[in-house]
Structure 1
Amino acid sequence: MIPVKVIATDDEAGVLLLLHSILSELDDIQLVGTAENAVDTLRLVKERDPDLALLDIELPDMKGIELAEKIQKLKPDLYIVFITAHQEYSLEAYQLYAYDYILKPIDKDRVKNTVRRIQKAVQAPEKLLTKYASGLKKARIAINSSYERVFLKLNDIYYLEKQGRHTLVHYINGQFTTRETLQNFEQRLGTKFFRSHKSYIINIEQVERVINLQGSSYYEVKFKNNTGKALLSRDRVNTLLGLLES
């Protein structure tokens, strides 16, 4: 069994010692680093490639929620659990990709149960995938939406649409919102997807029509078996047509 790698961040040394003690009682869980501030946490994410980050909300150099956003840009599939004394942040924390929100004083069993759930999610693919695992993993994406983590096949996604501070994901079974930005999705989705407009990313393989909107500075993109539509900027038309015809 491949160990699940964990990092922990808190400006209280006693909390870090307690978390170390709790995690040491779990099989196949490896605490690969601790930090007392956001800067060191980001360094750990880059250097240790963890699967799970246990984060305090209140840090001396940065709010934990802001840190979570930065971590998501570095490693979008990283699980984040907030451990804090500040209950008032709970809703915002969940909206910002947190898998769980554990209040201080820390409940040992609560931490163990949360880590075990994440462990199952991280390790399950190692049990089920064949030698073609790497290719299969690339065909799927995990997206955080409010209180849940949605796992989609890439080809089930029609397009993504920026709506204010959120992104609306249009896929085969409907749609849902996430706080992840289009910029982040561009880095994660791969070559099947194309930034057609500042507010849209489209799945090239799902495109059925490109329509010239008379009197408009934009084109319209329509998709197979879907009533939705995305905008296409005129300066990106030739690039998209080249991709569709290749």
Structure 2
Amino acid sequence: MANILICDDHKPIRKMLEKIASENPFVSKVFVAEDGVEAVKVVQQEKIDIALLDIDMPNLNGIDAAKLINKISPDTKFVFITAHMEYAIDSFAVHPYNYLIKPIDITVLKDNLNEIVLSIMNSSKQPSISMITVKDKNNTLILPLKEIIFFEKVGKDTVVNTNKEEYVINKTLAELESKLNSNLLRVHQSFIVNINKIAKI
């Protein structure tokens, strides 16, 4: 899951970006700032994975804010959102993921968020287990995690879904969540999903 910082001095744009970010199932928290100074203060207090920054803002512009944020949090990914194309070269100083021109293409922005969040989750530390055991009639099978599409809580049971079969196991989603690798993500109280199997959000 990712934390996102939104920084723009125009309230309607902040609200729109906040709504888009909040709708992404892999975003855990959304923080909002009205200018670059506020944005830097947020990063000093919170872990920020993605920063969506306007550039032309009072007090501290988006590029200078990004430079300060990069020193505090080197792993933060930046997407600049601005009406001014002429700042593009200057923005390279912090190696932004993208540079979007207003009016914003909502589809492109959503795609960017999905790509960044998934890349963050894929780069997370991998835990030890790579397979689980499941029962199929009288047999016990060893099932690689990469073959699992999702786990689902159905009543009191936990169902493992693959392309070929469904298996019922005697572990709760909470027990599984603590042991599974970062490719299997709890996206809902009743689902753990293999993010490598996601074709569309």
Instruction: Tell me, yes or no, whether TM beats 0.5.
Output: yes
- The CA distance in 1 between the partners of 2:36 and 2:93, in whole Å, is 20
- Residue pair 2:67, 2:93 contacting (<8 A) in 1 also: no
- The CA distance in 1 between the partners of 2:5 and 2:62, in whole Å, is 14
- Residue pair 1:32, 1:50 contacting (<8 A) in 2 also: no
Q: Out of 89, 92, 108, which is 1:91 matched to?
A: 89
- Residue pair 1:9, 1:41 contacting (<8 A) in 2 also: yes
Equivalent position of 2:21 in the other structure: 23
Matched, 1:120 2:112: no
Equivalent position of 2:42 in the other structure: 44
Q: What letter is aligned with 1:50?
A: I
Q: Out of 126, 131, 138, which is 1:129 matched to?
A: 126
Q: What letter is aligned with 2:109?
A: V
Give the superposition deviation at 1:95: 3.6
Q: What letter is aligned with 1:112?
A: K
Equivalent position of 2:52 in the other structure: 54
Deviations 1:15-43 (A, max 9, x none): 01110121222111134310101121111
- The CA distance in 2 between the partners of 1:44 and 1:105, in whole Å, is 26
- Residue pair 2:36, 2:57 contacting (<8 A) in 1 also: yes
RMSD: 1.4
Q: Tell me which stretches of 4 or more aligned residues in structure 1 moved more than 3 Å.
A: none
Q: Aligned to 1:5, what secondary structure does the other structure show?
A: strand
- The CA distance in 1 between the partners of 2:93 and 2:48, in whole Å, is 21
Equivalent position of 1:69 in the other structure: 67
Q: What letter is aligned with 1:53?
A: A
Equivalent position of 1:14 in the other structure: 12
Q: Aligned to 1:82, what secondary structure does the other structure show?
A: strand
- The CA distance in 1 between the partners of 2:61 and 2:7, in whole Å, is 12
- The CA distance in 2 between the partners of 1:53 and 1:13, in whole Å, is 17
Q: Aligned to 2:97, what secondary structure does the other structure show?
A: strand
- The CA distance in 1 between the partners of 2:30 and 2:107, in whole Å, is 21
Q: Aligned to 1:105, what secondary structure does the other structure show?
A: coil
Give the superposition deviation at 1:125: 3.0
- Residue pair 1:32, 1:48 contacting (<8 A) in 2 also: no
- The CA distance in 1 between the partners of 2:55 and 2:38, in whole Å, is 15
User: 1:170-209 residue pairs with structure 2 within 5 A?
Assistant: none
- Residue pair 1:83, 1:101 contacting (<8 A) in 2 also: yes
- The CA distance in 1 between the partners of 2:123 and 2:77, in whole Å, is 16
Q: Out of 102, 110, 118, which is 2:108 matched to?
A: 110
Unaligned runs of 5+ in 2: 129-201
- Residue pair 1:68, 1:80 contacting (<8 A) in 2 also: yes
- The CA distance in 2 between the partners of 1:8 and 1:31, in whole Å, is 11
- The CA distance in 1 between the partners of 2:73 and 2:22, in whole Å, is 25
Unaligned runs of 5+ in 1: 132-246
Number of residue-to-residue matches in the alignment: 128
What is the percent sequence identity of the aligned residues?
A: 32
- The CA distance in 1 between the partners of 2:15 and 2:120, in whole Å, is 24
